[in-house]
Amino acid sequence: QVQVEQSGAEVKKPGASVKVSCKAAGHTFNNHYVHWVRHTPGQGPEWMGIIDPGGVSITYAPTFEGRVTMTRDTSTTTVYMELSSLMYEDTAVYYCTTVGVWGRPPDYWGQGTLVTVSS
Amino acid sequence: QSALTQPASVSGSPGQSITISCTGSYNEIGKYNLVSWYQQHPGEVPKVIIQEVSKRPSGVSERFSGSKSGYTASLTISGLQAEDEADYYCCSYAGSSSLVFGGGTKVTVL
């Protein structure tokens, strides 16, 4: 099981960008795929994209294509998710989730980062 | 891709069995045996309870079981207990490295 710690809650204005980090304690993390998932209360989770262990292969959900950027720094065992052109509807909890097997849904979820978009 | 379809709520009495369905299409549930189920208690992080349609991770109660038929995956909770009251989500691999989630089911223990 990979333990990760996500960055703290953010409040952003519409049109701004937010960058959420996800740092793991050990280098086992570097063998895991990371999916970013966001969750709005009362709705189902929404898949945003995946970054592979090497940080080379990245796939974004069509809904977020053009607005989201996922990066990975294996030297610091940290993954980042940046979402730009924020809208009120982007208010949600953003989760860093990990899995060691390609194709399988996540096995472990980080604690989540609340992003609030408010003027 | 569209979200997987789950009933909004399911309830049962202690000791009973309940089943939560998760309906998709050939493109995810029908094509791949890569369905996971998650349990989320209020204020907590989702926890995986079923992987790859029917596999229970270490430490998960045997009262939880998963199956799949056609385009529908199912989660059965047997011997329902008060602690099972939570939200449950299904998730399937959908090809091209993507995932799709269900809308969630609230389980109430009467």
Q: Which of A46, A111, A112 sits opposite B101 (nearest CB)?
A: A46
Q: Do the Cβ atoms of B91 and A43 come within 8 Å?
A: no
More confident residue, B1 or B58: B58
Question: Phi, psi (5° rounding) for residue B59?
Answer: 95, -10
User: Which of A39, A46, A104 to substitute to test the interface with B, most B CBs within 10 Å?
Assistant: A104
Give pLDDT, residue A13: 98
Q: Do the Cβ atoms of A47 and B100 come within 8 Å?
A: yes
Give pLDDT, residue B92: 98
Give pLDDT, residue B1: 62
At residue A25, does pLDDT exceed 90? Answer: no
Mean pLDDT of chain B: 96
Q: Which tens digits make up the pLDDT trace of B5-48?
A: 999 999 999 999 999 999 999 999 999 999 999 999 999 999 99
Interface of B with A in 42-101 (CB under 8 A): 45-48, 51-52, 57, 89, 91-93, 96-101
More confident residue, B57 or B1: B57
**Core vs surface per residue A87-108: b (16+ CB within 10 A) or e:** eeebbbbbbbbbbeeeebbbbb
Q: Do the Cβ atoms of A50 and B45 come within 8 Å?
A: no
At residue A1, does pLDDT exceed 90? Answer: no
Q: Which tens digits make up the pLDDT trace of A36-95?
A: 999 998 899 999 999 999 989 999 999 999 999 999 998 999 999 999 999 999 999 999
Residue pair A40/A92 in contact by the 8 Å Cβ criterion: yes
Residue pair B68/B33 in contact by the 8 Å Cβ criterion: yes
Q: Do the Cβ atoms of A104 and B100 come within 8 Å?
A: no
Distance set, CA B31 to CA A29, A76, A79, B74, B88 (Å): 29, 37, 30, 16, 22
Distance set, CA B56 to CA B62, B74, B91 (Å): 8, 14, 15
User: Which of B35, B54, B99, B106 to substitute to test the interface with A, most A CBs within 10 Å?
Assistant: B99
